[in-house]
Amino acid sequence: MSARSTASASEKMGKVKNKIRRIENPAARGVRFSKRRRSLFKKAQELALLCDASVGVVAITESRKVHEFSNTGSVKDIFAKYNDHSKMVEKHSDVRRLEPENAYGRNVTSNIREQALEELTSTNQGRIEGLLHSIRRTKRLMEENKKLKEEMAKMLSGGSGSQTAAESNARKDDGSFDVTLKLRYL
C-alpha cells in the first residue's frame, strides 16, 4: 500500500503547468514583462545567429513604451523589407490570377519572358561575333607589325655600308628596334 502512495506522490511532484492568464497585480505584471521580454529578445538573437536570418521583434507595454530588438540595423529596416516582400507577393499572385492564357494554355507573361530571353541571347551573340571579329583583326595587325619589324631589322643589319651611327644603334636592349624615321641630307 505504501508503494501506491509513493507513486501518486511522485506524480504530484512533477512540474505543474500554469494556465496562461493576465496578471492582475501591475507591479508583478511589469516584472514578468521585463523577464519575458529579455528571454524573447535572447531567443530572437539566437535565431538570427544560428540561422543567419534578419529578425525584428517589437513589444509595446500598456503604458505605450516601445521595446524593440533587431539584429540588423533597425526594426524599421526589417519591416520595410517585409512590406516590400509582401507587396511583391501580392502583385505576383494578382498577376497569376488575372493573367490570360494564350491558345497553347501558357501564360502570356511566360511568353514575354521567353521572347525577352531570346532577344537577349541574340543580342549577346551579335556582341560576341563583333568581339571575335575585333580579336581576329587585332591578331592580323600584330602579325603585320611583326613582319614589318623583321623587314626593318633586315634593312638595318644587311643594308648599305653607309649606315649612320643612329642606324647602327637602332637595336634596343630588349631586342626590339627603334623604327623611327631618320631623314638625312645627301
User: For the chain, which domains are there?
Assistant: 24-98 (3.40.1810.10)
Residue 34 is predicted with a pLDDT of 93
CA dist 42 and 24 (Å) reads 26
Q: Which residues pair with 59 in a beta bridge?
A: 67
**Full-model pTM:** 0.41
Residue 87 is predicted with a pLDDT of 81
Grid cell for residue 53: 536570418
Grid cell for residue 114: 521567353
Find out whether 128 and 138 touch, Cβ atoms under 8 Å: no
Other Cβ atoms closer than 10 A to 69: 19
What string of pLDDT tens digits covers the 186 residues of the chain? 445 555 555 556 678 888 889 999 999 999 999 999 999 999 999 999 999 988 999 999 888 999 999 998 888 988 888 888 888 777 766 555 555 555 455 555 666 667 767 776 766 677 777 778 888 888 888 888 889 888 888 888 875 544 444 444 555 555 555 555 555 554
Residue 73 is predicted with a pLDDT of 83
Residue 114 is predicted with a pLDDT of 73
SS3 per residue for the chain: CHHHHHHHHHHHCCCCCCCCCCCCCHHHHHHHHHHHHHHHHHHHHHHHHHHCCCCEEEEECCCCCEEEEECCCCHHHHHHHHHHHHHHHHHHHHHHHHCCECCCCCEHHHHHHHHHHHHHHHHHHHHHHHHHHHHHHHHHHHHHHHHHHHHHHHHHHHCCCCCCHHHHCCECCCCCECCCCCCCCC
CA dist 71 and 53 (Å) reads 9
CA dist 100 and 112 (Å) reads 12
Residue 165 is predicted with a pLDDT of 47
Chain centroid, CA 182 distance in Å: 58
Nearest CA-CA partner of 169 in 157, 184, 154, 181: 157
